[in-house]
């Protein structure tokens, strides 16, 4: 789906929250899609204050086989009941940590430029637990600065894919590039501690075939610093080339 089509689809949202940063968020969500192994996706407008879905895209049923009317009627509690029991604790911990991080580390004027990602297993209409990666961009906030309305993008992955449970927060910088400001892997602590947030951003941009010079411009750091990050990344993963790094990351896209 093209950016203009998505903008038309959510025209009421853009009319109410006509901010350039929101448009950039939508562009970046589409750009990030290329890192996911499948393109089975659907969109929702979420309302965490009233625990309901304001909008559910028509692809919801195609992805999960579930009735969107039932989801719209019963809201988030219905959705949450279908999350794998073994993922509930980690999922709740991830959401709580993301909220605490947002309120303590992201200023109110910057929260509209934030983007959050987490994953969980979800029971579809065939009672099979598939993997879901949820990517949410806040659209509106309450009086305490907590995000309450969001644009949620869900990617459904095959149940046989083994995924670690993780959560991340990114912030859109002045160059309209996402910078990772929070990452936590709730299933494999060691890996999340090995690579820094800045190194994770460098890896993601390398996967887009950007040169060190372009990466430096997007992240507002020097090309020399980018090259230092690249050397450190190769050393941490005990590999010898960027090509080998890219091949390894394409097998583990959820890491980013």
Q: In this predicted model, what pLDDT tens digit does every residue of 133-155 receive, in sequence order?
A: 999 999 888 888 888 888 898 99
Q: In this predicted model, what pLDDT tens digit does every residue of 61-96 receive, in sequence order?
A: 889 999 999 999 999 999 999 999 999 888 988 998
119 Cβ contact list (under 8 Å, min separation 6)? 131, 132, 133, 134, 163, 165, 166, 254
**Parent domain of 149:** 3-185
| C-beta of residue 13 within 8 angstroms of C-beta of residue 139 | yes
CA-CA distance, 15 to 91, in Å (whole number)? 33
Instruction: Name the band, by pLDDT with cuts 50, 70 and 90, for residue 256.
Output: low
**Same domain flag for 59 and 157:** yes
| C-beta of residue 138 within 8 angstroms of C-beta of residue 152 | no
Both tokens of 70, joined, read 């039932």
In a domain, 204, yes or no: yes
- Domain final residue, candidates 185, 210, 233: 185
Q: In this predicted model, what pLDDT tens digit does every residue of 111-137 receive, in sequence order?
A: 989 999 999 999 999 999 999 999 999
CATH code of the domain covering residue 255 = 1.10.10.10
**Same domain flag for 142 and 20:** yes
- Domain final residue, candidates 130, 158, 185: 185
**Same domain flag for 111 and 130:** yes
The proportion of the chain whose per-residue pLDDT surpasses 70, expressed as a percent, equals: 79
pTM value surpassing 0.85? no
**Same domain flag for 127 and 220:** no
Give the total number of structural domains in the chain.
2
Average pLDDT over the chain reads: 81
Quote the pLDDT of residue 255. Answer: 55
What are the C-alpha distances in Å from 248 to residues 123, 185, 193, 239? 29, 18, 18, 10
Q: In this predicted model, what pLDDT tens digit does every residue of 1-10 receive, in sequence order?
A: 444 554 454 4
- Domain final residue, candidates 151, 166, 185: 185
CATH code of the domain covering residue 23 = 3.30.450.20
């Amino acid at each position: 789906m093209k950016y203009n089509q998505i903008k038309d689809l959510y025209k009421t949202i853009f009319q109410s929250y006509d901010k350039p940063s929101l448009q950039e968020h939508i562009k970046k969500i589409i750009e990030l899609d290329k890192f996911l192994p499948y393109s089975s996706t659907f969109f929702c407008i979420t309302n965490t204050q009233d625990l309901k879905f304001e909008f559910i895209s028509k692809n919801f049923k195609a992805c999960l086989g579930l009735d969107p009317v039932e989801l719209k009627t019963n809201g988030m509690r219905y959705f949450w009941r279908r999350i794998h029991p073994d993922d509930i604790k980690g999922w709740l911990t991830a959401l709580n940590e993301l909220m605490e991080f947002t309120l303590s580390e992201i200023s109110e004027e910057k929260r509209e430029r934030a983007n959050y990602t987490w994953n969980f297993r979800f029971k579809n209409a065939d009672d099979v637990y598939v993997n879901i990666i949820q990517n949410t961009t806040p659209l509106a906030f309450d009086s305490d600065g907590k995000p309450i309305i969001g644009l949620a993008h869900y990617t459904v992955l095959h149940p046989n894919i083994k995924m670690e449970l993780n959560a991340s927060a990114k912030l859109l910088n002045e160059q309209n590039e996402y910078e990772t400001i929070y990452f936590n892997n709730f299933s494999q602590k060691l890996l999340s501690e090995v690579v820094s947030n800045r190194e994770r951003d460098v890896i993601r941009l390398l996967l887009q075939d950007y040169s060190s010079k372009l990466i430096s411009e997007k992240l507002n750091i020097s090309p020399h610093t980018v090259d230092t990050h690249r050397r450190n990344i190769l050393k941490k993963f005990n590999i010898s080339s960027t090509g080998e790094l890219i091949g390894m990351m394409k097998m583990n896209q959820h890491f980013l």
